[in-house]
């Protein structure tokens, strides 16, 4: 397997071990993800998936290890510019009174052109900007949560269980949206239920008790196909 380190997200020996915990939550994580690819990490509840995304978005700091983006070593302050994190059930965190307010939270200077561009990216541009986020459908709320991150123009989109709690047809639409987004962004998705996302996955890992491994295994009786040997 050969990757060009100049063009990728590269995690080296990341360890997260809060002092109160008897064992590390993340145990020497190594991961390489090229740009404009979708990486999928599959693991059960409590395996460390959200913790890894929190580190990558600069919310918490690993005790050791390094994070590189295009050969540049990054520290927490730089990570929140690199990455946009969409939490699990992001609609629970909306605090704007309208779509426009939600998109402009923390960025009141954003011009309408950029707002419209990002809304068209997630196919919400047909809605009035005054629509309250809580009046949107479940699928539209997920799209708005993505738009909130995209408008900050991160390089890397981090998605925690993006299809959780959505109906089948909405999950399908969201997966098509993610497939479109990876033409411009690098995506890292974590989930305990990979069924929806596998079809658009370029690289896949499993995580169990904080240990990350490249996938090439049987999940729900089906061989998971990864592109670890592509590129």
Residues 6+ apart with CB under 8 A from 70: 6, 7, 8
The yes or no reply on residue 18 touching ligand ATP (CB under 6 A) is yes
Q: How far apart, in whole angstroms, are the C-alpha atoms of residue 170 and residue 226?
A: 25
Token digits for 139?
Answer: 């699928």
**Which range binds ligand ATP by CB under 6 A, 18-26, 61-69, 133-141, 176-184?**
18-26
The yes or no reply on residue 45 touching ligand ATP (CB under 6 A) is yes
CB 55 within 8 A of CB 17: no
Distance linking the first and last C-alpha atoms of the chain: 8
**Which residues within the stretch 187-226 sit at the binding site for ligand ATP (CB under 6 A)?**
192
- Compute the least distance from the CB of residue 116 to ligand ATP, in Å: 34
The yes or no reply on residue 43 touching ligand ATP (CB under 6 A) is yes
CB 32 within 8 A of CB 10: yes
- Shorter beta-carbon distance to ligand ATP: residue 18 or 132: 18
- Shorter beta-carbon distance to ligand ATP: residue 25 or 124: 25
Number of residues that bind ligand ATP (CB under 6 A): 13
The yes or no reply on residue 46 touching ligand ATP (CB under 6 A) is yes
Q: Calculate the dihedral angle through the C-alpha atoms of 73, 77, 79, 81, rounding to the nearest 10 degrees.
A: -120
Summarize as ranges the residues that interact with ligand ATP (CB under 6 A): 18, 20-21, 25, 43, 45-51, 192
């Amino acid at each position: 397997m050969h990757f060009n380190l100049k063009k990728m997200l590269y995690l080296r020996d990341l360890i997260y071990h809060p002092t109160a915990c008897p064992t590390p939550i993340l145990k020497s994580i190594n991961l390489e993800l090229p740009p404009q690819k979708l990486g999928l990490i599959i693991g059960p509840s409590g395996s460390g998936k959200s913790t890894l995304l929190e580190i990558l978005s600069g919310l918490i700091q690993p005790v050791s290890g390094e994070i590189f983006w295009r050969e540049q070593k990054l520290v927490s302050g730089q990570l929140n510019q690199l990455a946009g994190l969409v939490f699990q059930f992001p609609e629970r965190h909306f605090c704007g009174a309208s779509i426009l307010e939600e998109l402009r939270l923390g960025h009141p200077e954003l011009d309408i052109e950029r707002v419209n561009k990002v809304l068209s990216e997630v196919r919400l541009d047909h809605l009035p900007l005054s629509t309250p986020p809580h009046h949107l459908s479940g699928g539209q709320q997920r799209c708005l949560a993505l738009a909130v991150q995209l408008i900050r123009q991160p390089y890397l989109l981090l998605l925690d269980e993006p299809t959780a709690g959505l109906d089948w047809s909405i999950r399908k639409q969201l997966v098509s949206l993610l497939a479109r987004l990876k033409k411009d962004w690098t995506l890292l998705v974590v989930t305990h239920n990979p069924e929806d996302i596998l079809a658009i996955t370029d690289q896949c890992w499993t995580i169990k008790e904080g240990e990350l491994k490249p996938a090439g295994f049987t999940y729900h009786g089906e061989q998971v196909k990864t592109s670890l040997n592509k590129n």
